[in-house]
Structure 1
Amino acid sequence: MPIDAAKALAAEPRSGEITWDRKDVQLYHLGIGAGANPDKAGPATDPDELRYTLESRLHVLPSFATVAGAGSPGVISGLAMPGVDVDLAHVLHGGQRVEIHRPLPVAGTATATSRIAAVYDKGKAAVLVMRTEVADADGPLWTNDAQIFVRGEGGWGGERGPSARLEPPTREPDRTVERPIREDQALLYRLSGDLNPLHADPEFAKVAGFDRPILHGLCTYGITLKAVVDTLLGGDVSRVRSYTTRFAGVVYPGETLRIRMWRGGGGVQVSVTAVDRDDAPVLADTIVEHS
């Protein structure tokens, strides 16, 4: 079996230094659509957008934690851990959780420590949970949990893992916004570190079972958090405590996302769908916890 669950779980954590600077932050923000505000239809110099793009006003959206250090600890690195030997064409990002311990600095150097925290047997697939804990000289910064979905690698009789689903509230959303995805969005976003050819190479996408390259799930993840921060958290990135989602469906460049948000219980529950495909699910089981 290409995945040896016992070996993967017993492997020693891997640690390495990561660094980032304001240009990395700015590139990431541009990769998730900063510089355009569809709600205002204003210019890229709108003050609400300059806080993501202009160095003198820059603050860091917490989802940047998924790419800081050129995205080295994450989905692709998880496939290089002991006990894991799988075909990249069978891999999808199944879900993501980021817990923020304190606001992310615009530039920094930190130590990222990664390990396989769980391996689940979903029958026709396996799910690896890649946990990365990041700390600098002042202490913990963030913890990333990436769920890596590997088709065709289940069925060995292992633990199935959590399967609870978070149903959207029955009432009308507190806010609904739409976010258009540029045709070149995936090509720009991949410059932040995720060079999986699934998001750029049409031939590779066909081998993986898609008509054309798809948008990175973490790009949709960032677009969604930015929408929540901008509309319900007053643009204050420091209020975000954690952000969890399950990738329920793909997004193609050129489509439009519909983002529905409900306040409640110290958090915002979110549902994201693809407008162009009759509101096909994109992100589900999504919660932004905040102060």
Structure 2
Amino acid sequence: MPINLDEAIGAELAPVEFSWSSSDIQLYHLGLGAGADPMDKRELRYLTDGTPQVLPTFGNVAQSFHMTEPPAVRFPGIDIELSRVLHASEAVTVPGPIPPAGTGIAVTRFTEIWDKGKAAVIWSETEVKDPDGTLLWTQKRSIFARGEGGFGGDRGPSGSSAAPERAPDIELSLPTSPQQALLYRMCGDRNPLHSDPDFAAAAGFPRPILHGLCTYGMTCKVLVDNLLDGDVRGVKSYGARMAGVVFPGETLRISVWKNSGDDRAGYSAVVTAPERDDAVALAGIEFVPV
């Protein structure tokens, strides 16, 4: 069904209430590789019983954390087959640390839809508040829908994966485990592309690929650990574009640039796979401290 811009733009979905527990937080962090050194007290802060600190990227997955079936992409003016959809970008802004357990009420609206000719890029924004109306986090997301362009909309800006034309200020290593996707899928994303070798082969991949949101969350954790001494309270916002695939077991490289001489101005980064000629996995990363 063609995208109906008049119906889709500005459409606001009904509020969705959901809850999470400290065990959910622990599982999410384990899915991102937390606790690799079980004697490191900084690592154990992510896994403390009852009161683990919470990476802001949990806000990007909290609403779907307990899903066991792939989601449908059916909204006002939008009806797309899931097989046509790729995750394009994700971002989260937090006014303060996400609590280790709680209830949120999410309201999502569609803000922009770009017509790329052979595809569409659909942007949404979700505000999550607690039952008392206090803002917990704001999430921004875009999806790339293959074959859904040509509806006469604005083309929108062109994204770029190009890194700054100077040497990075910091380079960090990001190892992934061979079973990373199998563990991370317990966090609510059961797409067989990440677990079924036959399904992955049919999609054109030599083996299952890692979830984009797993690479996204792992990168945020490495930045927090290395730039903020492992303290999530120092994060204001974080976002990235999903620019390529990651295969579980690869060791990635995070190249980081300071946006100015002041650390509080934030950092830009790119994640690449050195084993595959530095293929870009995440681009346009913006990491902004409080």
TM-score by length of 2: 0.91
Q: Is the 8 A contact 2:92 2:238 kept in 1?
A: yes
**CA–CA distance in structure 2, aligned partners of residues 252 and 81 of structure 1:** 31
Say how many residue pairs are matched: 283
2:157 aligned residue: 162
The correspondence of residues 128-277 of structure 1 with structure 2, limited to 5 A, is 128-136=122-130, 137=132, 139-165=134-160, 167-265=162-260, 266-277=265-276
Counterpart residue identity of residue 65, structure 1: G
1:22-62 per-residue CA deviation (whole Å, 9 max, x = no partner) reads 111010101111112xxxxxx32211210111226620011
**CA–CA distance in structure 2, aligned partners of residues 209 and 5 of structure 1:** 32
Gaps of 5+ in 2: none
- Structure-2 change in CA distance of 1:142 and 1:96 (3 Å): same
SS of 1:120's equivalent in the other structure is: strand
Counterpart residue identity of residue 233, structure 1: L
**Displacement of 1:278:** 1.2
1:202-227 per-residue CA deviation (whole Å, 9 max, x = no partner) reads 23323333232211111000111111
**Displacement of 1:174:** 2.5
2:83 aligned residue: 89
TM-score by length of 1: 0.90
2:17 aligned residue: 17
**CA–CA distance in structure 1, aligned partners of residues 18 and 189 of structure 2:** 15
Q: Is the 8 A contact 2:3 2:151 kept in 1?
A: no
2:282 corresponds to 1:288:
no
- Structure-2 change in CA distance of 1:52 and 1:94 (3 Å): same
**CA–CA distance in structure 1, aligned partners of residues 255 and 156 of structure 2:** 28
- Structure-2 change in CA distance of 1:258 and 1:235 (3 Å): same
Q: Is the 8 A contact 2:21 2:101 kept in 1?
A: yes
2:67 corresponds to 1:68:
no
Gaps of 5+ in 1: 37-42
Larger CA deviation: 12-21 vs 217-226: 12-21
2:45 corresponds to 1:46:
no
**CA–CA distance in structure 2, aligned partners of residues 226 and 175 of structure 1:** 15
Q: Is the 8 A contact 1:78 1:116 kept in 2?
A: no
SS of 1:52's equivalent in the other structure is: coil
2:27 corresponds to 1:27:
yes
1:55-105 per-residue CA deviation (whole Å, 9 max, x = no partner) reads 2662001111111133479xx657121222222222110011111122100
Larger CA deviation: 147-156 vs 157-166: 157-166
Counterpart residue identity of residue 33, structure 2: G
2:105 aligned residue: 111
- Structure-2 change in CA distance of 1:160 and 1:150 (3 Å): same
Counterpart residue identity of residue 141, structure 1: L
Counterpart residue identity of residue 276, structure 2: R
Counterpart residue identity of residue 116, structure 1: F
Q: Is the 8 A contact 2:10 2:109 kept in 1?
A: no
Q: Is the 8 A contact 2:20 2:103 kept in 1?
A: yes
**CA–CA distance in structure 2, aligned partners of residues 188 and 251 of structure 1:** 15
